[in-house]
Each structure stands twice: as structure tokens, then as C-alpha cells.
């Protein structure tokens, strides 16, 4: 099922169940998606499932940063709300790769591209982004690729 259809279906289910947090979070995701659609339409493009996965990852990451800030400020209520939103958004993301799977994916991408130095890092990250969109934290993967290529 396409991610958009899954969001719509889950929104209806959450509304029927009276799950306010889930309804609010899915509506928030839909609003961000609509903004992305408008931006893409202005450029003559369409938003693909990979773009939606990237958007969901971005939403999770921003909430994780908010959780840290709220925890430091002692705002347990707001931190809890953000954690609940993260849990809802993550239900729409594919299962993330484990540390071992990430290492294997990076090694395979380096072998596939024939990367030998830090200059080839872009090629390796491009392969990883194409094959593992939504399943791999690209910031951590980039750092690991850099370390493997001697950066």
C-alpha cells in the first residue's frame, strides 16, 4: 500500500477509535506532506514515496531534538507528547537497519562503487540513499562511510 493511502486509512481508523494523539499526529504529517506537494508542484515535480519517507524521517528527527530540549528544560509533559508523536510517525517508516546490517550495506556500497578514497564518498552515499531510503539514518551512515574511506 502506498504511504499516502496508508496515512488516509490510519487517520480514519484512529478517528473511529477516538485516538486523539494519533489523529493529531497523522494530520500534522498530512499537513507537512501537503506543503511538500505544493513546493513540488511549483517545480513541476511530484512527490514520490521516497520523498515521503524522507519527510517522515525529518519529522522524527525534529521531534527527537525537541525531546532533548524539553528534557533539559524539565518539561516532561511536552517531552512525553513528542515521544508519542515519534512513535506514531515511526509506524509509517520501514524497519530501520540494525548496526550489523548497516555495516554490511556500507561495505556492499563501497564494493559496488569501487570507492577507494574520501573523494568517492558521494557515490557511496548516493547508492545507500537509493537502496535504503527510510531504513537508514543517512547522517550516521555518512559518518561511517567517511571513516571507512579514511576521512
Place of cell 537502496: 131
pLDDT tens, position by position, 52-85: 888 998 999 999 999 999 999 999 999 999 999 9
- Cβ 137 vs Cβ 96: under 8 Å: yes
Domain covering 3-90 in this structure, CATH number = 1.10.1510.10
Whether 3-90 and 99-148 share one fold: the answer is no
pLDDT tens, position by position, 7-21: 999 999 999 999 999
DSSP 19: -
- Each domain of the chain, given as residue ranges in start order, spans 3-90, 99-148
Cell numbers standing for residue 135:
531504513
pLDDT tens, position by position, 105-136: 888 888 888 877 888 888 888 888 888 777 77
pTM: 0.74
Domain covering 99-148 in this structure, CATH number = 1.10.10
- Angle of CA points 107, 110, 114, to nearest 5°: 140
DSSP string, 78-136: HHHHHHHHHHHHHTTSPPPPPHHHHHHHHHHHHHHHT--SGGGHHHHHHHHHHHSTTTS
Distance, in Å, from the CA atom of 67 to the CA atom of 80, rounded to the nearest integer, reads 8
Amino acid at each position: 500500500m502506498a504511504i499516502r493511502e496508508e496515512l488516509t486509512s490510519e487517520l480514519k481508523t484512529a478517528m473511529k477509535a477516538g485516538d486523539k494523539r494519533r489523529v493529531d499526529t497523522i494530520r500534522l504529517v498530512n499537513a507537512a506532506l501537503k506543503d511538500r506537494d505544493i513546493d513540488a508542484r511549483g517545480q513541476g515535480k511530484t512527490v514520490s514515496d521516497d520523498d515521503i519517507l524522507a519527510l517522515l524521517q525529518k519529522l522524527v528527527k525534529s521531534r527527537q531534538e525537541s525531546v532533548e530540549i524539553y528534557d533539559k528544560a524539565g518539561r516532561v509533559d511536552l517531552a512525553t507528547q513528542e515521544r508519542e508523536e515519534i512513535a506514531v510517525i515511526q509506524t509509517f517508516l520501514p524497519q530501520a537497519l540494525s548496526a550489523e546490517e548497516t555495516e554490511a550495506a556500507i561495505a556492499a556500497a563501497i564494493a559496488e562503487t569501487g570507492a577507494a578514497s574520501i573523494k568517492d564518498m558521494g557515490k557511496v552515499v548516493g547508492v545507500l540513499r537509493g537502496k535504503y531510503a527510510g531504513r537508514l539514518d543517512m547522517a550516521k551512515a555518512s559518518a561511517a562511510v567517511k571513516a571507512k574511506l579514511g576521512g
